Chains A and B, each alone.
Chain A
């Protein structure tokens, strides 16, 4: 494996800290007992900016810290969180935001996040739960799908808006003119 650059090491640390802080804040939705999981929007943005390994570790470390400081680690979901970052990072590897953002890039990002969430919550998490906890398949897939859809919506809306805003803030000064009236 290639050595992680210092910047990636720091991005993982700060990204995991953000994941943790947002994972601890529950923003209620109109659906009872369901919360907006902003941490996945951040994980998706960081995976896009810093790559698959960063995405994987942000999800893994961040989710482990969230779980470990509440009710003990639920490893199957931690691994699923890590896979979300990994998959998004892999699909968006060629995406360069330093030159601005366009529809194509937004679509790529969203394809990546939808694929990632579907795989993570629709497949990886339930399969691991069956293997480890031997819970009924129906329950697991229902649960996984609910979480997956909720995360797809959150990442799709919040993650996309963040990405656009980020790309707009790195725009260069060149073309700007003052307008007097």
Chain B
């Protein structure tokens, strides 16, 4: 079966791998929030550099995740392009000054402010990518559920995540088998049919998939009830690892990063770092 190329857990030995899922989860969440809140160029540059350092430490190779990086690059490029097409003067409004570099055509002028805005926006996204990828690549999926539970998420929801990870390969295989058998009956989603026909055809694959998934839900919930799931307010975890010194350090670091991020960003009352008002321009 041709597997869809996706990012998954890559087992290696590294500092990042050895951290508990909980520490990594806290770090990942704090980092995500920090990057979303700030628009301060100085903070973003620091975060970007730091994310490269973590990546180095994790011993995950660029090769391992090259296809994901490719996807991210395309996504960013498209996003930047659309922003520029819709609002070529957005940066000017944001930074309250206008330094024209050159004009492409009509309203499409390239200004220093617009470029600076694009740079900031891109950094905001880019600095999350390595951390997010590492979180997935260096965390044993078996630790997800217990990690979520340990930061206060209901264990039921945590277990839903675990079940999703458990049954993704099965459902993927099933989808693949069903769609092959249906192709033999002339149902093909990649063909050149009209949009509506193609949607109708997709039902021929989705219906068996949905019905068998509903069956699966019944079997799995029976199996879980028969083994006592959901009776107690709490549960223990076979795969929960105890927090070590390093885990506490990383957790503290995550909180510190978030705090510094908030302070620096909002110190002067604005999310944006504006070099154009006081700087050399």
Contact = CB atoms under 8 A, between A and B. Distances in A.
A139 interface: yes
A136 B90 CA distance: 7
Contact of B124 (A20, A73, A133): A133
Interface of B: 4, 6-8, 32, 36-37, 39, 68, 71-72, 75, 78, 82-83, 85-87, 90, 94, 121, 124-125, 128-129, 131-133, 135-136, 154, 156-157, 159-168, 171-172, 175, 189-190, 194-196, 198-200, 202-203, 206-207, 209-211, 213-214, 216-218, 220-221, 224-225, 229-230, 271
B207 A70 contact: no
Contact of B68 (A6, A14, A42, A70): A70
Contacts of B36: 75, 132-133
A69 B167 contact: no
Interface residues of A, number: 60
Interface in A91-140: 132-136, 138-139
A62 B171 CA distance: 13
> Main SS of chain A's interface residues?
helix
A72 B125 contact: yes
A28 B259 CA distance: 44
Contacts of A17: 163-165, 167-168, 171
21 contacts: A6-B221, A9-B159, A10-B220, A10-B224, A12-B160, A13-B164, A20-B168, A25-B175, A65-B168, A68-B136, A69-B68, A70-B68, A136-B87, A139-B83, A139-B86, A142-B86, A157-B199, A157-B200, A161-B200, A162-B203, A162-B210
B2 to A, nearest CB: 12
Instruction: Report which residue of A6, A72, A154 has the largest number of chain B beta carbons within 10 angstroms of its beta carbon.
Output: A72
B199 A71 contact: no
A175 interface: no
Given A14-B220, A36-B199, A142-B86, A169 B211 contact: yes
Nearest to B158: A9
Nearest to A13: B163
B135 A14 contact: no
B121 A41 contact: no
B10 to A, nearest CB: 12
Given A18-B171, A132-B36, A69 B164 contact: no
A132 B159 CA distance: 30
B156 A4 contact: yes
B87 A13 contact: no
Given A3-B230, A138-B87, A158-B202, 8 more contacts: A10-B217, A14-B217, A17-B164, A17-B168, A29-B198, A71-B71, A132-B36, A133-B125
Contact of B196 (A38, A45, A69, A157): A157
